[in-house]
Structure 1
Amino acid sequence: MKMPRLVQSISATQATFLSSVFAPMSKQIAALKLFGTLLISSFFLVSVSMSVLTSTGVHAHQQKMAITTVYFNARTNNIEVMHRFDLHDAEHAVKEIFDGNADIIQSEKTQSDFANYVTQRFAIYSADKTELALTLVGTELEGKHFWVYQETPAPENLSGMYIQHNALRDIWHTQTNTINIEGMGDIKTLTFTDNTELLSVSFK
């Protein structure tokens, strides 16, 4: 059946009208879809970045380190030992080692107890494995660090030594203790990590 001319004309007009109305809307819908995709992608990237930064921050926070200097003092002929601990680590350590009320900042007893704990886990031996008798000299709270000092007379004709440093390594498996040996030629460095129990150094 043939459609009347008027109906054909109206249909064409309606089609043109509808096209003019919906064409911009389709562009807006496409733009909204693109914006939504970009928004989701941005959110995903931000989430991943925050996760990486958080993971890195936690890892950095968990890293435990202490530095000890073993210094051969030619003037006094003594071996001076200086242990430097991060105060934040020491604060947590005393609560783990002793009790939850231990306060290394305010309590002299806690400071003394921690110093004794350190000295019991640090030892120097001569080349023939004879232990040197270290004396606890004292402690010092300095800024963000807590120091423990020891000393012993330097043996004559010392050709080398063995050192043990297990302080804090018995409570944190991530603890790293670094020892710098000075006053016997070039500075020598020993690093205690993982299951390392005894390290040696020789002198020319």
Structure 2
Amino acid sequence: MATPAAAHRVHAGVTDVVISAATGELQISHRIYGHDLLEALGADVVDEEAWYASAEGLAATGRYAQTRFRIGEGDGRLLEPVYVGAELDGELLWIYFAAQAPADTSAFVVDNDLLADAFEDQVMMTNITIDSIVRTAMQGPGRREPVRLRFSTD
């Protein structure tokens, strides 16, 4: 029987960044394997679902993601996402942040290092959607540097 950390063969996750039509804020949602984050945190947890629902689990999740995902305006000025929360959905952990949307959305800089410290082969795909246009930054082995995504043709 496979252990939870070996239950999947790929170390990959997806981050989606959109501007909320209702609030105008930048909404960031990360989707990663919950047991991978536990391994990265060095957490010895029996009941994964209960831990992620606990104050301790939620706080540890937010602290971890806050330090490993950075997003900036096109000129490189970092935005300051605020941790909203997290929830476990089967094996997948959803982690949510929100930030003030910049006035200029013609370009962003993304540096997504979620789980890269724990898994050499970790790949993170970050999709940013502006006015129905999607740009994607892929970061993984051999491609860990920040990525600039442009939404204008200038």
| Common fold by TM > 0.5 | yes
TM-score range, shorter chain: 0.7 to 0.9
Larger Rg: 1 or 2?
1
- Residue 167 of structure 1 deviates from its aligned partner by 1.2
Superposed, 1:144-155 pairs within 5 Å as 144-155=91-102
Q: Which residue of 123, 127, 147 maps to 1:199?
A: 147
Superposed, 1:75-90 pairs within 5 Å as 75-90=22-37
Superposed, 1:30-179 pairs within 5 Å as 61-95=8-42, 99-101=43-45, 104-107=48-51, 108=54, 109-179=56-126
In 1: Cα distance, 2:20 partner to 2:105 partner = 14
Question: Which residue identity is paired with 2:69?
Answer: F
After superposing on structure 2, the runs of 4+ consecutive aligned residues of structure 1 that deviate more than 6 Å are: none
Residue in 1 aligned with 2:3? none
Question: Which residue identity is paired with 1:172?
Answer: F
Question: Which residue identity is paired with 1:202?
Answer: R
Does the 8 A contact of 1:94 with 1:103 survive in 2? no
- Residue 122 of structure 1 deviates from its aligned partner by 0.5
In 2: Cα distance, 1:100 partner to 1:63 partner = 22
Comparing both structures, which one devotes a greater share of its residues to helix? 1
Does the 8 A contact of 1:91 with 1:103 survive in 2? no
- Residue 103 of structure 1 deviates from its aligned partner by 5.7
- Cα deviation, 1:97-154, whole Å, max 9, x if unaligned, reads xx43586422221232022101111011111110111100111112221111001111
Using structure 2 for the length normalisation, give the TM-score: 0.82
In 2: Cα distance, 1:184 partner to 1:86 partner = 29
In 1: Cα distance, 2:48 partner to 2:66 partner = 16
Residue in 2 aligned with 1:23? none
2:50 partner SS: coil
Q: What value does the CA root-mean-square deviation take over the aligned residues?
A: 2.1
Question: Which residue identity is paired with 1:198?
Answer: P
Residue identity over aligned pairs, in percent, reads 25
Question: Which residue identity is paired with 2:146?
Answer: L
- Unmatched 5+ residue regions in structure 2? 1-5
- Unmatched 5+ residue regions in structure 1? 1-57
In 2: Cα distance, 1:135 partner to 1:187 partner = 23
In 1: Cα distance, 2:73 partner to 2:36 partner = 31
